Amino acid sequence: MNIRSRLCILILAIFLCEPLFAQKEDTTDYYRIKLNYENGLENDSSMLPLVGKYIQKARIEKNYPQLVEGYKDGLLYSVSPDDKLKYADSAIWAAKLTRDDYLIGRAYTSKGIVYYFNLKKYKLALNEFLIAYKYSQKSNDPYYKNKVYYLLGVVKSYIGNYDEALVLLKQTKTFFEEESKKDIHPNLRYGNKRGYYNSLHQMAVCYRNLGNQKSADSLTNIGLSLTSSNKDYQQEYGYFLKEKGIGQFYKRDYHNSIKSLESSITSISGVNDFAWTSVCYSYIGKSYLELGNMDNAMPFFQKVDSVFQKHHFILPELRNNYEVLIDHYKEKGDIKKELYYTKQLIKADEIIRRDFGYLFSKIHREYDTNTLLDGKTRLERRISQIVWIVWTLATIAAALMIALFFKHRSEKKIRKQYRLLEQKILSKDELIAREGQTKGKENYKLDIEQKIVDDILLRLRDFEDSSGFIESGLTLNKLAARFVTNHSYLSQVINDYKGMNFNRYLSELRIAFITDKLYKERKYLHYKIETLAEECGMASRTNFSNLFQEINGIRPTDFIKQRLQDTDQKSIEE
């Protein structure tokens, strides 16, 4: 099967194939857009701009079935699992607008697959698949129904409900096996074969975990015989090799176990299935350990830890890797590494308990939680206290130096801004744009009679000199009414002669007023910020503080602090 055929299948999990129905050539605009990217590889984000055109067209035309298709394509080509989830949610939204139960169910299935395959969050995946299951019951598509049954079976298997999983998987095995034998389109046959092979694989996993290794081996051998010589099913072949290698391990055939598991990793590496890859690492390490080759075993146990660090995910059967690592470094007297892997096991237990509660209660634990915590405490105490004290003191000293540096720099900046503002006050430099700071009146070409302009300017000067601006709730309309003029005229004169709009003009007058009061009248230095705001006509403490800093270049609290220091110093000198 060529790349184009395979990539039309939703390859997001161990079993994510959608049947490709033989179609007549579609010459619609959607088809022509899709032709530009349908041969792209999964997770190839360079395809997303093309997918975006498809989505945009569907949104504009409110073609919700096509919009669902576009969002699912976005999910396929996105690299980040979080982005995949966003596309999945969008697909659900669009599907609901179609009122098509089949499309809605498939959209929920896609989201569940992201949780299951990309994020390994099986409980969340189960919730999505259960919703998809309800919609699938309204569908007449047996393939889709069995796909949902399969996914439910897989997730139930992962969380430890092996008996329930087997009931579902036996059903899907039978269905896909029978369908794959029918005289149908090659793409349909391919999808059904994958369903059959993956059902076999998951059944083998269930039987192995239930202690029925004989049944597990039987299914594994069937799978290997069907997939070993077919390049189209190398992923499935890799999973059967994994089960073969695990079976060989339990039969103490360690050399062949290692070979099978290494071949399995090669076959499944292309789909980035870190969960099963880490299982292979674990059993390779265990095989070397049983052969007495600790040097070869350790790198594989450490690879399991690397997967755990990167993905914050671990399967219950990998837990004992950490017990081996802890014992190994305890024997070597490497306290730091013993402590590290003890902490890692504590973290692993938290995740296993959260995601695999049922299995956590059943797995054998040489080191239980209390033992691990006691060991962690013991190791931490043994690590040189002197080193920790020196490190702590050095850290504190560095933090203090940094804090002092920033404090000094901040205080220096505040003093500089304060002095600049003080110079303006002492030199009686205007804090707002006055008439003298603008161009001469003769340069303005206002569509207002000069007599009216002069009258407004005169009233504004009286308004400023009498501090009329400190009135709370003052607006342009109110002031215009007070001036017995048109508010439009007043606004235009302020803009042209003061160089700012009315609100800014009022703000600068008020800040200049309160700044002058703070500098000249000591009692104001003891007012709360809220009171200062009210004194200059502002209702909001936050707005006052922000404007004070914006206009004066210093916060009101810092100005008050500096002014108090100045006045106190002068009092001492006097």
pLDDT, tens digit (0-9, with 9 covering 90-100), for 257-269: 999 999 999 888 7
Q: Is the pLDDT of residue 402 over 90?
A: no
Band (438; pLDDT cuts 50, 70, 90): very low
Contact 536, 511 (CB under 8 A): yes
Cα 534 to chain centroid, rounded: 44
Q: Is the pLDDT of residue 105 over 70?
A: yes
- Cα separation, 544 vs 510, whole angstroms: 9
Contact 14, 239 (CB under 8 A): yes
- Cα separation, 171 vs 177, whole angstroms: 10
Q: Is the pLDDT of residue 201 over 70?
A: yes
Judge residue 160's burial from the number of C-beta atoms within 10 Å of its C-beta, 0-12 exposed, 13-18 middle, 19 or more buried. Answer: buried
Average pLDDT for the chain = 84
| CA-CA-CA-CA dihedral for 247, 252, 255, 256, to nearest 10 | -30
Coil vs helix vs strand at 24 = coil
**Amino acid identity, residue 266?**
T
pTM, to two decimals:
0.58
Top CATH class of 1-152 equals mainly alpha
Mean pLDDT of 347-361: 74
- Cα separation, 349 vs 371, whole angstroms: 12
Mean pLDDT of 511-534: 91
Band (12; pLDDT cuts 50, 70, 90): very low
What's the pLDDT score for residue 15?
Answer: 40
Task: Give domain limits for the chain.
Answer: 1-152, 314-382, 435-573
Which tens digits make up the pLDDT trace of 37-92? Answer: 888 888 899 999 999 999 999 999 999 999 999 999 999 999 999 999 999 999 99
Encoding tokens for residue 430? Answer: 């205007």
What's the pLDDT score for residue 370?
Answer: 65
Contact 110, 91 (CB under 8 A): yes
435-573 classified as CATH 1.10.10.60? yes
- Domain 1-152 matches domain 435-573 at the CATH topology level: no
Q: Is the pLDDT of residue 536 over 70?
A: yes
2 Cβ neighbours under 8 A, 6+ residues apart:
none
Neighbour tally for 153: CB within 10 Å: 29
E strand or H helix at 225, and its extent? helix 213-227
What's the pLDDT score for residue 505?
Answer: 94
3-state percent breakdown (helix, strand, coil) of the chain, nearest 5: 75, 0, 25
Q: Is the pLDDT of residue 442 over 80?
A: no
With a pLDDT cut of 70, the percent of the chain lying above it is 85
158 Cβ neighbours under 8 A, 6+ residues apart:
122, 315, 356
167 Cβ neighbours under 8 A, 6+ residues apart:
153
- Cα separation, 153 vs 260, whole angstroms: 26
Contact 230, 207 (CB under 8 A): no
Q: Is the pLDDT of residue 392 over 70?
A: yes
Band (159; pLDDT cuts 50, 70, 90): confident
What's the pLDDT score for residue 311?
Answer: 86
What's the pLDDT score for residue 385?
Answer: 62
CA distances from residue 498 to 197, 441, 457, 494, 502 in whole angstroms, order as listed: 81, 11, 10, 5, 9
Q: Where are the alpha helices (DSSP H) in 444-540?
A: 450-465, 476-482, 487-498, 502-520, 529-535
- 378-383 long-range CB contacts below 8 Å, 24 or more apart? 379/335, 379/338, 379/339, 379/342, 380/339, 382/335, 383/335, 383/336, 383/339
Q: Is the pLDDT of residue 1 over 50?
A: no
Look at 69-83, 193-207, 231-245, 362-376 and tell me which has the smallest mean pLDDT: 362-376
- Cα separation, 120 vs 49, whole angstroms: 28
Encoding tokens for residue 315? Answer: 């399967």
